[in-house]
């Protein structure tokens, strides 16, 4: 019997595509994760090292924690048209709209509220990826997908274009069930590796963040190496390439009307207008325009840096005069100098 049968209808009503549960164990990929950290593939994300003990044993969150529920929610941009100020700048699908840390957490909390009604004396805690849980590892254990060569969790019907949420609880769930993972259906396909512009994907299902476009356009506060920046392909915030080229996502993308519509409405004129807006807006104006979206994570400096990388890569000479004032900007003069140099080269 499914111990979550009484909340299953609610889970699907809230838009989650699939879920699973299991007893809490040490993450299966723990040794590989430590090796990834020791290889400095995490770049400037030092907070990942500070959370190691919690990630290794979730009982450090709450001693009574015994089980974890993993839930997958499709990117909202795939099934609904979201209000988003940038319709032409290439932005990762998960970031097109309201920050998922808010709305996904609300939906997880709705499930927690119902579970507390059913189990008033038990502990429940919901979390998104902002909390130090190795969510892909547990989601793999909970059969939400297999780990693909691009390190994403891939489900045979849902692809990989979904967010993960977690509920840690003291309720005994799956303590006696045998771990039976989904088969790895990547086979001999290497499309994600072959299509990554910066060769960030290793042969062992790991990502070197210091080569990853998403890392440089979202997480890093610094300028990327300029040789690497020339390979960013006009991407402004994040990157979906290793997912959009994946054969397991083709049906998902094809049946998504919002995604197909968005791809058709992108124009060069609209792109230049939005880049001009980024460069001409003050920091306060820019953050006000993007309030409530994941793009504020990059900060106004990071967004202006990203805009100049896009301008350089796409050779948008019409925006030269919008870049030039940043030659006098203490934090952005280096990237502005490089951008103008790229524009001057045929």
Active site residues: 129
The token pair at 98 is: 């309201």
221: nearest Cα among 341, 46, 101, 340: 46
Residue 94: helix, strand or coil by DSSP? helix
- Report DSSP state, residue 157: T
- Cα–Cα distance for residue pair 304/326, rounded to 1 Å: 10
- Cβ-contact 73, 163 below 8 angstroms: yes
- Cα–Cα distance for residue pair 220/226, rounded to 1 Å: 14
Angle at 107 between CA 103 and CA 111, to 5 degrees: 165
Please, what's the b/e burial string for 45-81 (b: 16 or more CB within 10 A of its CB; e: otherwise)?
Answer: eeebeeeeeebbebeebeeebbbbbbbbbbbbbbbee
* CA distances to 65, 212, 217, 320, 334 from 225, in Å: 44, 11, 12, 21, 11
- Cα–Cα distance for residue pair 76/274, rounded to 1 Å: 22
Q: How many residues in total does the chain contain?
A: 346
- Cα–Cα distance for residue pair 262/111, rounded to 1 Å: 32
- Cα–Cα distance for residue pair 308/324, rounded to 1 Å: 10
Radius of gyration of the chain (CA): 21
Backbone angles phi, psi at 37, to 5 degrees: -65, -45
Residue 109: helix, strand or coil by DSSP? helix
């Amino acid at each position: 019997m499914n111990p979550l049968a009484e909340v299953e209808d609610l889970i699907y009503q809230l838009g989650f595509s699939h879920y699973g549960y299991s007893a809490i164990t040490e993450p299966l990929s723990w040794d590989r994760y430590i090796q990834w950290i020791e290889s400095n593939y995490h770049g400037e994300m030092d907070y990942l090292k500070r959370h190691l003990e919690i990630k290794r044993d979730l009982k450090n969150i709450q001693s009574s924690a015994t089980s974890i529920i993993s839930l997958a929610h499709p990117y909202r941009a795939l099934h609904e048209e979201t209000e988003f100020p940038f319709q032409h700048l290439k932005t990762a699908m998960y970031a097109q709209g309201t920050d998922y840390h808010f709305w996904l957490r609300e939906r997880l909390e709705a499930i927690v509220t119902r579970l507390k009604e059913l189990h008033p004396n038990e502990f429940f805690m919901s979390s998104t990826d902002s909390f130090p849980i190795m969510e892909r590892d547990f989601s793999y254990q909970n059969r939400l997908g297999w780990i693909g060569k691009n390190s994403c969790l891939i489900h045979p019907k849902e692809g990989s274009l979904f967010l993960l949420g977690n509920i840690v609880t003291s309720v005994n769930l799956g303590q006696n069930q045998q771990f039976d993972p989904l088969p790895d259906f990547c086979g001999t396909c290497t499309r994600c590796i072959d299509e990554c512009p910066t060769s960030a994907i290793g042969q062992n299902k790991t990502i070197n963040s210091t080569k990853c476009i998403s890392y440089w356009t979202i997480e890093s506060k610094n300028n990327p190496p300029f040789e690497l920046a020339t390979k960013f392909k006009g991407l402004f915030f994040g990157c979906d390439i290793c997912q959009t080229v994946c054969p397991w996502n083709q049906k998902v993308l094809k049946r998504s009307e919002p995604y197909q519509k968005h791809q058709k409405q992108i124009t060069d004129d609209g792109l230049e207008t939005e880049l001009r807006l980024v460069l001409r807006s003050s920091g306060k104006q820019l953050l006000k325009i993007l309030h409530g979206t994941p793009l504020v994570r990059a900060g106004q400096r990071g967004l202006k840096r990203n805009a100049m990388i896009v301008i350089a890569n796409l050779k948008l000479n019409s925006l030269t005069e919008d870049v030039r004032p940043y030659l006098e900007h203490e934090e952005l003069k280096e990237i502005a100098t490089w951008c103008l140099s790229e524009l001057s080269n045929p």
